[in-house]
Amino acid sequence: LCLLAKKSCLPTILILSFCNSQFNVLTGNKGSSITVTCSHSNAYSTVKYFCKGQCTYQDILISSTTISNKKYKIEDKGNTFSVTIFDLKEDDSGTYWCGIERVGLDTYNQVILTVLGELIIFCTPAWLHPTL
C-alpha cells in the first residue's frame, strides 16, 4: 500500500509496505517537511533505522535508538515506524532506505525522494477577486 497525501502547510505523508522488490517515489518541496511511514510484520521489538545511499553503518541518519536530531525524527510504533525529514533542501534528493535490524540480513524498503523548489501559495483577498 502506498499513499501520498499533499496538503498545503502540512507535511506530506507516505505509507509504505515492506516488499523487497518494491520501491516508492515521493516528492517534497524545499523548506517543507515530509514523513515516511514504513511497516513490516514481526518488527515489533527490533531496531528500526533510516539511511541514505549505500546504507552502510555510516549512512544511517536516524534510528529508533536515537529518536531525533535537528534534521530527522523517528517514531517507533512496533510493526510500523515513521521518519520525518525537516526543512527539505535540494541535496536531500536521493535514495533512502527504511531498515529493520534482523538476525542475519536486515530487511529494507527503498524510498526515492525528489525535492523541488519552494511551494508558493498566493492568496487573493475576496474583495480583489474579479468575479466576487
* pTM score: 0.73
- Residue 128: its pLDDT value, please? 62
Phi and psi for 103 in degrees, rounded to 5?
A: -70, 125
Concatenating the DSSP letter of every residue in 83-121 gives EEE-S--GGG-EEEEEEE--SSS-EEEEEEEEEESPP--
33 touches 85 (CB < 8 A): yes
- Residue 1: its pLDDT value, please? 28
Distance of alpha carbon 82 from alpha carbon 36, whole angstroms: 5
pLDDT digits (tens), the chain, 132 positions: 222 233 333 344 444 433 344 568 889 999 999 999 887 778 888 999 999 999 999 999 999 998 889 999 999 988 889 999 999 999 999 999 999 999 989 999 899 999 998 766 666 666 665 665
Burial 85-104 (b: 16+ CB within 10 A, else e): bbebeeebeeebbbbbeeee
Write down all domains in the chain, each with its CATH number in brackets: 3-128 (2.60.40.10)
- Residue 17: its pLDDT value, please? 36
- Residue 68: its pLDDT value, please? 87
Distance of alpha carbon 18 from alpha carbon 43, whole angstroms: 11
